[in-house]
Chain A
Amino acid sequence: MNAPERPESFERREPELPNALPRPAGEFEALKRAWKSPRGLSFITDVNNTYVGIWYVGTAFLFFILAGILALIMRAQLAVPESDLVGHDLYNQLFTMHGTVMMFLFAVPAVEAASVYLLPNMQAARDLPFPRLSAYAFWAYFVGGLVFFGTIFFGLAPNGGWFMYPPLTGTKYSPADNADWWLLGIGFIEISAIAGAIEIIVGVMKTRAVGMSLDKLPVYSWAMLVFAVMIVIGFPAIILGTLLLEMERAFDWPFFIAERGGDPLLWQHLFWFFGHPEVYIIFLPATGMVSMIVPAMAQTPLVGYRLIVLALIATGFLSFGLWVHHMFATGLPKMSLSFFSAASTAVAVPSGIQVFAWIATIASGRMKLTTPSLFVIGFLLIFTLGGLTGVMVAMAPFDWQAHDTYFVVAHLHYVLIGGMVFPLFAAFYYWIPVASKHALSERLGRWVFGLMFLGVNVTFLPMHITGLIGMPRRVYTYPVDMGWDALNLVSTIGSFMIALGVAIFIYDLARKFRFASEDNAGNVWNAGTLEWLPNGQYATRSIPAVVSREPLWDQPNLSKDVEEGRYYLPGTATGGREALVTSPFDARPQYILQIPGAGWQPLLAAVFTAAFFLLLTVKLVLPSVVCGVIAIGCVIWWLWETDPGPTRPPADIGGGIVVPVYVTGPMNHSWWAMIVLMVVSGMVFTCMIFSYLFLWLVNPSAWPAQGFVPPHWVWPATAAALYVASAILIDRASGNLRGEDRRSPRSVPVLIGIALLLVSAASAADLAAQWRAGLSPSAHAYGAAVYALVSYQIFFVLTTLLMGLYTIARWLTGKLDSVRRTTFDNTMLFWYYTVGQGLVGIVVVHGFPRLTGGV
């Protein structure tokens, strides 16, 4: 019960340094050469997390400013009643874009971008495990996000609110392309988030400083891990939702159209199952940042480390059980509402744990009132107030009054601005010395803080009243005699105060921020964690071993020893970029990960992926398909350079530790990535099954419609058998591809080829069965649900086809053998998943109606 928070005694003894001085000639030069950025315009092809992270954060901040300007225009319109500054059409686009851009193009990307830059540094990893993937994610977001924002200049911006409820956003009531921009624009931003989540999970678990066991993991890493897992579980719901709504709009499949068996509430469930965790996805990384900043400002270790980690995990877990509190007014039974009311109340507890942990830390140290400290204090005050109003709206009857009024607008801005924007500004002021030659100005920082803090309260505090005295949300104007005039005017004044504060920040940023790695401003705060080690484009010269949570405080010579190359892997074993992969729990070195360097492939793939989605939105189908094919081509070109095999025998990284430069199987980082991808796919599929069952509950007597004769059971049986057979063949091929002798038997491509035919036939049988039975996807929601499952499966089979052919191509060019088999393993894992998903789909589609007596 009273175990000390800090590890004592034997762990504190400094280990013998792994590598001796002097370092061999040319070692450091080789390291620098491997990590050197391309010159000129090709600079943008670099995938080093240091660069991608900065561009990513910068782009996210740009969207913050753009969406903020939209808000200023809205507040100007609402300053007086019956104003005609902005017409209803533009206003409806403004509030939709403000919400959408802030939530999808700023909030999640900003915290993800910060981790792209910070996380490897904080764990003394040279880079993320899949740098080209994060480069791809960034460029897709950059191109897609800017084009998406541009729609407002053409009057094409989505205008159905940032949560886009159908039927308003269906084809009938939103016939123009505006809604499609939202759906497709958001779609590939979702992909970027998933890619980032994969990176973070693998990065946190597998690329850490030696000896950085889980109990020494920085709280920020824990927060990002929970963040990434929440994305993996939560984002699929909105990926599915956007897919379904787009299919409804494009092909008239009536998922949400009541007249044909659909239900608008299905969208709300899918959206909010994602939407509620989304706000904690945004909030938890911010708390992780605060947990790093507070100890440095108070110059004392964090109090309650384990409780905080527990609180992070509890928040992440609980947040998935709250979503119906966004639907309290939809007429659901009170029994259901009471559960979600209770859960929404419970989630306040882990947040309380964190707040008091920070207070305790501050109390046990000597807090310097620097600008980061001020923003942390602002965060604590504003977020606490927002959390308290959150508990208020968790009480369903109160929410029945407050829902969809300015009270909720007040609540959400307090928790989002307080809970994320303030920590983000604290993080800017705190960590810019790592990335820049100069720190930002403390003097101007006080002005920025003061204006923003005061501005937020002047803007949003009155809104609590405005909402309760009757002003609903999303209104482009309001009547003269309602008594809302003064409150709205005050709110508008406050919003311009916030703008002024942000403007001063931008001015200071332009004056002071000069990108640097080797000659950065240095550890100006005397912080204790590894991102403050001296670093360059290669991150740290050598990878340290740590014995505590604040290595720079507890190992006084660490910076010097790391810089001299006394620790692990002070050079490059293969001549290229490398990271050290460590074991998930104890962070023992496992192998050297060969990382790709700069390249055009991720950038081009991202641009063409963005083009594919954007051209599809404006219904230019042929150009869209062409771009899609080129994108796939770029991805294949990109992948071709991966899976290098063991390019040299195991290498000595120092301290007598020799590790391989290539491994396969469950220890391999891309195996982990595939597992995460399978969980994501599985979650999308699970949401699809949920949708199927939900729509059944809406149509219990017409599932399927009377008179429809479902396919004979021979069809699903055949399809299932074909699926299983293909999996067996792949298993066989895997067995043939074993042995230390680097064998590459002919049977492997043959088995893959036959398996490809089988799996394609299975999927074709699945589709043909429904088609021959005469099921229509647009006549009724039953058909829509069935075809949704079938076409989702077809997408997976097509991807399997591509992966299988690619694997065969690797064999043909001599790049696949029993040792160099990561490509095969990835294909194999995906194959098993596709077969499993296919089998479950068959059971549901063919078995469920028979089970419920619908047939």
Chain B
Amino acid sequence: MSELVDGPLFLLLVTGFLMVPTALAAAATALVWVHRARTNAALLSPHLRLRYSPTASVLLLLIPVANAYFIGPILGDIRAASFPYGHDERGTRLVRAFWATTVVTAAVAGTGNLVLSAVSEWLFAPGRAAGEAAAHHVTAAALTFQTVTYLLAVASAVLFALVVRHISRLQTRAHGRPLIVTRVTPPHPRPTVPGRPGRPTHSRRRNR
């Protein structure tokens, strides 16, 4: 029996080592993308007043449970500011679908985990002799719940990928060319007085 379990346990260990760093890296790059897209949106639409600053957008997404709600307004603001000259029906539908899927996924995952945890604690409490059939049923229910949660997570991830691609294309198209990272120097640097760096020659003291 133990030799039979070695295979799936080894696979569980390997997939755990694979999934945790990959998920952390995906979350980190997603947060960096949100910060950068929000900064770009403010530059592309300076006439719009967005609800959350770039830093606030990232910090709100780090709050457990609440991030499922805040991801909708944050991405909605970024999408609206990335396309300020017309109506973006597809982007609006994508953001709303992603938001709804994320909220449903979070609700199902949270509720299901609480229910399964409560049932397991009650069933396998000290002094209670749980039969093998009960354990089998709980395991089958847990597997079904994990499958449903995984499918919802896949749907949410696919919609998030579509939203990311859509907003990235909007921001690239807003300038008519691919955006280039540049550090622009001022065109006319202010002249300085020799020996007194940083003081302009047209200062009040020198012209007096």
A binds B: no
